[in-house]
């Protein structure tokens, strides 16, 4: 019984301590690195202009997989962290901003004094929407070297 428990403990510890493979993008100029772990949602554009959005998985040292599509490291044109929540907030802010700007046009046509306030609020909301999802930069192959690390 002790052997069975110890073997089970060894297998569990191997799976929890095992190193995961990651995709590393190293800047060619300053050497700063960005790591993409397996399971991270990314948007990849290949050199032949195919686009893939989904969860990243490292297949081997030269190939990664995005939603079942194999991409060679030498074929990566650009890669970007592509979170779902940030895009939703961005689209909501764009929609609200557009609605306020249209509302300012209606209020202006009705000669209401609130047209300027609606226009400024709509513009500020649209600008905020544009800035929401800009924390993840697109890493382009001209400036970065891509490799798999453990």
Tens-digit pLDDT profile for residues 41-86: 999 999 999 999 999 999 988 999 998 899 999 999 999 988 776 6
70 shares a domain with 25: yes
66 shares a domain with 24: yes
In angstroms, the CA 118 to CA 114 distance is: 6
44 shares a domain with 118: no
For the chain, the domain total comes to: 2
Distances (CA, A) of 148 to 44, 45, 61: 15, 18, 6
111 shares a domain with 92: yes
Q: What is the pLDDT of residues 12-40, one digit of tens each?
A: 565 555 567 889 999 999 989 999 998 88
56 shares a domain with 110: no
49 shares a domain with 75: yes
SS3 content of the chain, % helix, strand, coil (to 5): 40, 30, 25
DSSP letter string, 38-80: TT-EEEEEETTS-EEEEEEEE-SSSEEEETTEEEEGGGEEEEE
61 shares a domain with 89: no
Residue 29 located in a structural domain: yes
In angstroms, the CA 62 to CA 101 distance is: 49
Share of the chain above pLDDT 90, in %: 49
143 shares a domain with 76: yes
78 shares a domain with 21: yes
Distances (CA, A) of 88 to 41, 59, 92: 15, 30, 6
Range(s) of the domain holding residue 105: 85-132
pLDDT at 45: 93
């Amino acid at each position: 019984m002790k052997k069975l428990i110890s073997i089970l403990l060894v297998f569990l510890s191997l799976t929890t301590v095992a190193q995961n493979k990651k995709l590393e993008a190293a800047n060619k100029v300053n050497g700063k690195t960005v790591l993409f772990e397996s399971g991270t949602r990314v948007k990849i554009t290949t050199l032949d202009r195919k686009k893939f959005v989904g969860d990243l998985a490292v297949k081997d040292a030269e190939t990664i997989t995005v939603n079942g599509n194999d991409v060679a490291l030498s074929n990566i044109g650009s890669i970007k962290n592509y979170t779902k929540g940030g895009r939703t907030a961005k689209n909501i802010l764009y929609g609200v901003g557009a609605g306020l700007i249209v509302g300012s046009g209606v209020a202006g046509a009705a000669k209401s004094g609130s047209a300027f306030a609606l226009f400024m609020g709509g513009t500020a909301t649209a600008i905020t929407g544009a800035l929401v999802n800009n924390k993840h930069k697109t890493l382009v192959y001209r400036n970065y070297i891509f490799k798999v690390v453990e």
